[in-house]
Amino acid sequence: MTKTIWRQGELIEVTIANLSDTGDGVGRADERVVFVPDTVPGDRAIIRLVHVKPKYAHGKLQQLLEPSSHRIRPNCIVADKCGGCQWQHIDYDYQLVAKQNQVIQALERIGSFIQPPVDPVLAAPSALGYRNKSTYPLGISATGQVQAGYYQKGSHQLINLNQCPVQDGRLNPLLAEVKQDIQQRGWRIYDEQRHQGQIRHLGLRIGRHTGEILLTLVVKDWNLSGIETQAQEWLKRYPQLVGVSLNRNGDRTNAIFGSETRCIAGVPHLHENFAGLEFQVRPDTFFQVYTETAEALLQVIQSELNLQGHELLVDAYCGIGTLTLPLAKKVRLATGLEVQPAAVEQALLNAHRNGIDNVTFQVGAVEKLLPKMGTIPEVVILDPPRKGCDRAVIDTLRQLKPSRIVYVSCKVATLARDLKLLCQDGQYTITRVQPADFFPQTAHVEAAAFLVLSDSHKDSNSFTKTEI
């Protein structure tokens, strides 16, 4: 049977059957796959082909013939344009099902695991109003008005926002009003094509439990006339605002933050309560964007580990100690490894603030520090960035042979890749995978995988164990 030739711009009818890991609907026609944003499994639709390859195509929703039972009206008026969310048109229960399937499929396809033990997704307490941090690029409208928002899907066109339904609602007044203040001050908005202008991004961060807010402007240089006066005005206007900072990023780059931040007024950090501890969080600190879901996942980790107080624990990629410090209270000694010196400085401050003295932190790349530990930990926590673990980290763990590993991942493809290496030759066994929804209304899913060392690999070890 000869396949129909697909052409760019052609209209075809497709029934959406699945969702991709990027959030697009997935349908089939003529034995080929079509990826279509803004669709839901169960949708029957007319699709315009916009990018055609021999075995697949990308399409654009042209006409909805029959809507899926999982399709809902988005809460945001610009949800069909803004690139901040992909799934506001999908009911939340089905979002959770899709995310569980995403984890299962990655472990099966990439990790080669058969029937991996993946639990239902840990649901978020609320599917809206949850983000404790938002960083908005700034722009200028055709009429010269300062804009802040997210880029349109698949483009660099800024969609102006005065409020965002997924960020903490207490930040919305600042988003709408700070733009007007920037306009009145006459501060020039950065033009990335010409590498000219002053202000690049507006950053807002809030302690979900404390209500303390930080406001940060990312600037090309420090020369922002009148910023000290304006910062004081903001502190007076917003009682929950505790600090105003500038972050300098003078490079031609897509990275948001530069390496240096200066507090202009108030304090350079907010306080947040997390898992019964108090943390200092700065504007550029990595801290999970959904505080309550992160706390719930930590509870799962604590329950699954069932720590008895005698264990040696290593937390690799520890950041400011978000997981290290709560777990340190339940073990004999905890060690955090982190490549960012500023994060380790904050982790030490947070340990001292909470009176936790059985924890140490080391600065450096995990792949270099882990082989030099001088002890064999019973428990290792891995919480790497999206790219996953360096291969040297995996190799060292297979030599160290800790009894248990907890791998917390924000990208299931690299999770599956690394778990396959750890479990090679039956050395480790996955006992449970707990996905958690840190990013409702998007395709992103977090997951914690629990691994135990197999009995057959417990006897030999290429590292010499020393007691601390």
Q: Which helix (H) or strand (E) holds 264?
A: strand 260-266
Contact 377, 324 (CB under 8 A): no
Q: Is 307 helix (H, G, I), strand (E, B) or coil?
A: coil
**In whole angstroms, what is the distance from residue 95 CA to residue 345 CA?**
38
| Residue 223: count of CB within 10 angstroms of its CB | 8
In sequence order, the 6+-apart residues with CB closer than 8 A to the CB of 194 are none
Q: Which of 330, 74, 295, 31 is nearest to 315 (CA)?
A: 330
- Where does residue 140 fall: left (phi above 0), alpha (psi -120 to 50 degrees), or beta otherwise? beta
Q: Which amino acid appears at position 387 of this protein?
A: K
- Read off the tokens for 87: 């799934």
Which member of 82, 318, 410, 423 is catalytic?
A: 410
Contact 136, 202 (CB under 8 A): yes
In sequence order, the 6+-apart residues with CB closer than 8 A to the CB of 353 are 278, 280
Q: Which of 289, 313, 319 is nearest to 301 (CA)?
A: 313
Active site residue 410: yes
Residue with structure tokens 């995310």? 99
**In whole angstroms, what is the distance from residue 336 CA to residue 345 CA?**
12
Residue with structure tokens 């200066």? 262
Instruction: Give the residue numbers annotated as catalytic, written as ranges.
Output: 410
